[in-house]
Structure 1
Amino acid sequence: MRCEKMSSFIVMDIVKEAEKFEDCIHFEIGQPDLPPSPKVKQALHVSIDNNKFSYTQSHGLVELREKIAQHYQTTYGVSIDIDQIFLTPGTSGAFMIAYALTLKHGSTLGLSDPSYPCYKNFAYLMDIEPLFMPIGKEDDFELHVKHLEPHKLDALQISSPANPTGNIYKSENFKALIEYCEKEKIAFISDELYHGLTYEDKADTALQYGKNVFVINGFSKYYCMPGQRLGWVIVPKEQIRHAEIVAQNLFISAPTLSQYGALEAFDDAYLATIKQEFKARRDFLYAELSTLFDIDAKPDGAFYLWANISKYSNDSFAFAKELLDTLHVATTPGIDFGSNGTEHYLRFAYTRSIEHMREGVERLRNYLYTRKSL
């Protein structure tokens, strides 16, 4: 293991520092402030009353995996065997299963730059070599086959909708990437955690374009259950037994109460209100921040804005600290997400109410209009 190469997750340090200020405005943390469906809460109470505290099988509850399989059939027209589905402690457990099944010591995992920082840290933990491929607004923040061709990869991981940019991979490019990986015998891992939080067009699942893909999702974002620590991974059929062995040894099973609660998470009427609320927040924050920063693209999904701060600073960490210390406005420095120009960006999460964000925007506007630009 190469723990010494693992980097800290700067946003968590920002969260800790922000707790010192009672009047802090929070744009930093990527978790919804909205509760899950009332049906989830009721299911949790019933589970507690019925003493549902034992382990489940390593795959997870049969009835929950059946609901997930039905979700894929209804939403994407994709049929999957419930034995391909493994419930995991958050998506972190799902990544560990996918990496363990596709990569070995010294293997190369292809990632975009910018991308979610835990990907590389999981790779380092397992003695896997992350290879970063720069992307930007000229690429619509998507990896393309042209990015892959110069490299020898053992696996490729993409996220759509993406953190930190909020972009969605276009169908033709998504399909081309999967076809290339199948031809070149590169394992394909698709992080689809923000599915459901898409505001104009629906995001595709990798299962629409390939059977030998690994798909990761969970209940923390769209379903508003971050603290329940429950994710899932869908593995190819020939990997089912291997995944079961890995799951048994890594974590025995996902949290039991969380699984029973998640049985009621697929509440379409309630989820429609969640999506509507986050769309309204996106529209508000995009319109407001566009007057202060350069926004390379209006986000299609997730709940993040990737704001270019170049007119004010060339050091995203120092600028984020300045805003926190001076204004009590907490943001995430771009350098959390890579090194491809990320010192010129802040990530803003629209995970609080419009009223809360409006106060933050006003503080920013008043401060930046009087502060000297570069």
Structure 2
Amino acid sequence: MRYEKMTPFRVMDLVRQAQNYEDTIHFEVGQPDLLPPPGVKKALLEAVESDRYAYTESMGLFELRRKIAAHYRHDYGVEVDPACILITPGTSNAFLVAYLLTLEEGGVLGLADPSYPCYPNFAAMVDVQPRFFPVDRSNGYLLRAEDLAGSRLDAVHISSPSNPTGTLYDAETLRDLATYCEGEGVALISDELYHGLVYGKRAHTALEFSQEAIVINGFSKYFCMPGLRIGWMIVPERLIRPAEIIAQNLFISAPTLSQYAALEAFDYDYLAQVRETFKKRRDWLHEALDPLLPVDAHPDGAFYLWCDASAYTEDSDAFSRELLEAIHIAVTPGVDFGKYGTQTKLRFAYTRSIEHMAEGVERLRRYLLK
């Protein structure tokens, strides 16, 4: 059975167990605690009042697709045809659409190890073979074109900034990767969900370097709208119709109310405050945590720290459970993200207030000193 090839998220077991403790400090869940831009709620309520409950077309509201195209012009100076944009129920569905567009049964998908665990699980759903390429501190936790040479891949899937490491693809590395993929006939899928949450650097979209890239993004992180389940993907013109057919069958259309709400998400003044809040949290937690559990990857973006717990454990899953049971701190075990070096890594999310995190760090400090 296909599901037997899939691995569970161990962190979800921890999330459930954490509910047993009223004083749990949460470093595990990767969702923002901030509200979306104020216009989002107003637009959502107006959509409800206007009884907008019907399906939209499968590609999504054209007005929203125009707004997303304008966003790429604003943030990257890239022109995107709204016709190439598909609105999806979150980014997870976009990953599945991308795999169905680019990979035949038995095809080979290149992934970094560690990387987001949904990628190989979706590959299992569509009978695709993942091929993992180890990344670590020595190569900046980035998958590079030279790593792929001679690999006979059908597609490669990257994330920038990365979950779990927060590392960002610089322009040169992303350009080289896009050039390699175009030259070898390999589909490039770029997960850019954490764009906007980038600190002190400029994020580059794969579309700056290749019109053949498939780019995926959404409203869950930077726009603080995780529960509205709304995302988007940008496909080459030749794949518009196939993407539409897949969407029609997979989910008919993205949630209508969420699409109308997303029309008011591009409030750049408000979003700048969101970014600054997470930057302050990153800086605080990095300084507080690094002496205890050294941060192994420079967190350019997203809202995660990838920490080295090798001084205390060779089993990050067991150690995460130990921390939850002993001091009521919930963290994500590194083994959720792959096999290469993950047995001694923990992911800390800075998605709660500094006051909340400070209590957790103090508990951790006292516990580790024992």
Bin of the TM-score, shorter chain as denominator length: over 0.9
Q: Which residue matches 2:367?
A: 367
Give the match's secondary structure for 1:232. Answer: strand
Q: What displacement does 1:135 show?
A: 0.5
- The structure 1 segments of at least 4 consecutive aligned residues displaced by more than 3 Å after TM superposition are none
1:52-102 deviation line (CA, Å, top 9, x unaligned) = 100000010111000000000111111111110000011011111111110
Query: Structure 2: 5+ residue runs without aligned partners?
Result: none
- 1:148 paired to 2:148: yes
CA distance in 2 between counterparts of 1:125 and 1:315 reads 28
Q: 1:132-191 CA distances to partner (integer Å, 9 max, x unpaired)? A: 000000000001122101411000010000000000011101100110010000000000
2:335 corresponding residue in structure 1: 335
SS in 1 for 2:175: helix
Residue of structure 1 equivalent to 2:132: 132
Asked whether the 8 Å contact 1:21–1:328 carries over to 2, the reply is: yes
Aligned AA (2:161): P
Q: Tell me, which stretches of 5 or more residues in structure 1 are unaligned?
A: none
**Map of 1:311 onto structure 2:** 311
Amino acid across the alignment from 1:10: R
Task: Report the counterpart of residue 201 of structure 1 in structure 2.
Answer: 201
Q: Partners in 2 of 1:148 and 1:251 — Cα distance?
A: 33
| CA distance, structure 2, for counterparts of residue 147 and residue 16 of structure 1 | 38
* Cα distance between partner residues in 1 of 2:131 and 2:6: 14
2:248 aligned residue: 248
One-letter code aligned to 1:219: F
Matches of 1:151 and 1:298 in 2, distance apart? 28
Kindly indicate whether the alpha-carbon contact (under 8 Å) linking 2:27 and 2:350 is maintained by their aligned counterparts in 1. Answer: yes
Q: How big is the shift at 1:30?
A: 0.3
Distance 2:310 2:17 in 1: 24
The Cα shift of 1:13 comes to 1.2
Q: When the two structures are superposed, what TM-score results if normalisation uses the length of structure 1?
A: 0.98
Q: Write out per-residue CA displacement over residues 203-247 of structure 1, whole angstroms, 9 at most, x where no aligned residue.
A: 100000001110000000000000000011100001101111011
SS at structure 2 position matched to 1:111? strand
Task: Give, in whole Å, the separation in 2 of the partners of 1:136 and 1:247.
Answer: 36
| 1:271 and 2:232 matched | no
Which residue of structure 1 aligns with residue 76 of structure 2?
76
Q: Confirm or deny that 1:355 pairs with 2:339.
A: no
Whole-Å separation in 2 of the counterparts to 1:150 and 1:338: 23
| Separation (CA, whole Å) in 2 of partners of 1:74 and 1:119 | 29
Deviation for aligned residue 1:285: 0.4
Distance (whole Å) between structure 1 residues aligned to residue 187 and residue 16 of structure 2:
37
Distance 1:228 1:5 in 2: 29
| TM-fit CA distance, 1:266 | 0.3
Deviation at 1:202, TM superposition (A): 1.6
Q: Percent identity?
A: 58
Deviation string 1:271-308 (CA, Å, 9 cap, x unpaired) is 01100100000000000011101212330000000000
Distance in 1, matches of 2:298 and 2:206, equals 23
**Alpha-carbon separation, structure 1, partners of 2:33 and 2:53:** 27
Q: What residue number does 1:45 align with? A: 45
User: How many residue pairs were aligned?
Assistant: 370
Which amino acid counterpart does residue 191 of structure 1 have in structure 2?
Answer: D
User: Is residue 141–residue 297 contact of structure 2 (8 Å, CA) maintained in 1?
Assistant: no
Q: Does 1:228 align with 2:250?
A: no
Distance 2:168 2:318 in 1: 30
Matched residue of 2:30: which SS? Answer: coil
SS at structure 1 position matched to 2:115: coil
After TM superposition, list the pairs within 5 Å mapping 1:281-292 onto structure 2. 281-292=281-292
1:38 Cα shift? 1.3
Structure 1 partner of 2:118? 118
Counterpart AA for 2:171? S
Matches of 2:345 and 2:156, distance apart in 1 = 25
Q: AA paired with 2:345?
A: Y
Counterpart residue number, 2:14: 14
TM-score of the two chains, using structure 2 as the length reference: 0.99
SS of alignment partner, residue 217 of structure 2: strand
